[in-house]
Homo-oligomer: A and B are copies of this chain.
Amino acid sequence: MDFFEVINTQRAMRHLKPDPVPDELVWELLDAAVKAPSGGNRQPWNFIVIRDADTKARIAGWYLDGWNTAYGPFRQAAMASPAIAKTYASADRLANHLAEAPLLIMVTLDPARVAPVTPPGANVFPAVQNLLLAARALGLGATLTTVYRTHEDEVKQLLGIPDSVETMALIPLGYPVGKFGPTSRVPAESVTYWEKWGQAGKR
């Protein structure tokens, strides 16, 4: 698949079919993830592939609680906004159906393996983005989520993640219901300056 087609049609695919995802495809996603750069090439990431129904159900419970706490207060305003209503409804649906995703991938960061002067996220989210793009290239639906972090301690205990390791993202994965891209974004020329902050560039 053409690189720019992947880039231009990747979007959060939150509604997933229950059909299982073969191991070979999971490994293709992970192979793409670990090709990403990290500070000093220290690769301080780990991945946990979760298919167990009980584990998914427990994480889904915490996720829904976190969603309701963090985003519930915005429901009325969000659903009244034409620009946000569709995304909010889709994210709300995901929060109520997370356990139905055929698999979840938890991404973690070991701070002891992070190179000096690099923000933690610089060492993990390039790999996460590689994984999301590879999912799109393979026809799999995926979403970058972090709402479970309201219950990070419980999630870490459930998965046996050491205290010293941080969780960074949880990616529900499966064959998607609905179509890939295009996405709606503020155009590059509206967020880019030339030479100094505030100086718009000509296109």
Task: Using CB atoms and an 8 Å cutoff, list the residues of chain A in contact with chain B.
Answer: 1-8, 10-12, 23, 27, 30-37, 39-41, 43, 45-52, 55, 66, 70-71, 84, 87, 91, 116-122, 124-126, 128-130, 132-134, 137, 143-144, 146-147, 149-150, 159-162, 165, 168-169, 183-189, 191-198, 201, 203
Contacts and interface: CB of A to CB of B under 8 A. Distances in A.
Q: Which of A11, A128, A185 has the most CB of B within 10 A?
A: A185
20 contacts: A2-B3, A7-B134, A30-B192, A31-B188, A34-B187, A35-B183, A41-B87, A46-B191, A47-B188, A50-B195, A117-B147, A118-B146, A120-B121, A121-B122, A121-B125, A122-B125, A125-B126, A125-B128, A129-B130, A133-B133
A40 B87 contact: yes
Nearest to A166: B119
Contact of A137 (B3, B43, B196): B3
Contact of A7 (B46, B125, B133, B168): B133
How many subunits of this chain does the assembly comprise? Answer: 2
B193 A49 contact: yes
Given A2-B2, A48-B192, A137-B4, A70 B117 contact: yes
